[in-house]
Amino acid sequence: MSGARHTFGRMPLAAIGVIGLLLAATPVLARDGASADSAMQALERTIAFPGTAWGVDARTGQVVVTVDGTVKGAQLASVRSAVQRLGTTARLEFAAGTFHLDITGGDAIYGSRYRCSLGFNVTKGSAHYFLTAGHCGKAEPQWWTSASHTTFLGNTTGATFPGKDYAIVQYASTYTSYPSSVGSQSITSAANAFVGEAVTRRGSTTGVHTGTVTALNVTVHYQSGGTVRGLIQTTVCAEPGDSGGPLYAGTKALGLTSGGSGDCKSGGTTFFQPVIPALSAYGVTIP
């Protein structure tokens, strides 16, 4: 998917060769006493166009406004003006590239047109499922373990995008391997991320990469279309095909890869759909 860089999207099979944590009920207060929630509402009214994102850095109480490389000229001037009006309530940052939409966890899953990544294996009673990105689930009703479609994984039974970015796939009765792990890392619980937390992401395009959480409750306007709210912003890199892959810290599941900018050669900004809202939406649990 092209695009604020599109959700690390679904990677077209032809190209293969073959991304809510909610803030606490009490509003975060910026250093000048203004509510971060109010500041984000003001941004939504004035600069809600593709290539923009904003969320809260709980360590400073500031709203972090991030723009990708496509925000130029009059649009960039509008962003600068909006941030300046908020004073010390907000700060402006720049991300290289464009925000675009980007299976154990992080392995490749293949639809009829796109490749994404498996997030976390989950259960509901005796039934087994896995989570992935909503923009992947919206595009593909069925998933296989390879581009040749020799081993069927299962059917997409729910997907939400835009707004949120999560989907769920029920494993086929013929598929019986669903470990609660990301690669060799065991996953035993789900948790909320926090700013400054050291995190790891695994995906089918770029493998394992690490970084830190820089903001929470982030609203992203993707270039390819679709606004997603309540995301986790990080310094972890990702690329197309990594979408849906897991974000975790040790044994804790944190999120699902949604999208971002940059790549794993030069670095970038990546956004993740928090996993707890996805678990709640589908009534499933980490095994």
CA distance 27 to 190: 24
Cross-strand pairs, 114: 12
Q: How many CB atoms lie under 10 A from the CB of residue 141?
A: 13
CA distance 21 to 154: 28
Quickly count helices (H) and strands (E) in the chain.
5, 22
Task: Tell me the CB-side half-sphere exposure of residue 189, using CA atoms within 13 A.
Answer: 5
Strands 189-190 and 166-171 come out as unpaired
CA distance 105 to 90: 35
- Token duo for residue 205: 């395009």
Rounded to the nearest 5°, which phi and psi values hold at 73? 50, -130
Residue 32 CB partners (closer than 8 Å, separation 6+) = 87, 88, 89
Q: What is the DSSP letter of 239?
A: -
CA distance 199 to 225: 27
- How many residues comprise the chain? 287
CA distance 262 to 96: 5
Residue 125 CB partners (closer than 8 Å, separation 6+) = none
Residues known to be catalytic:
135, 165, 243
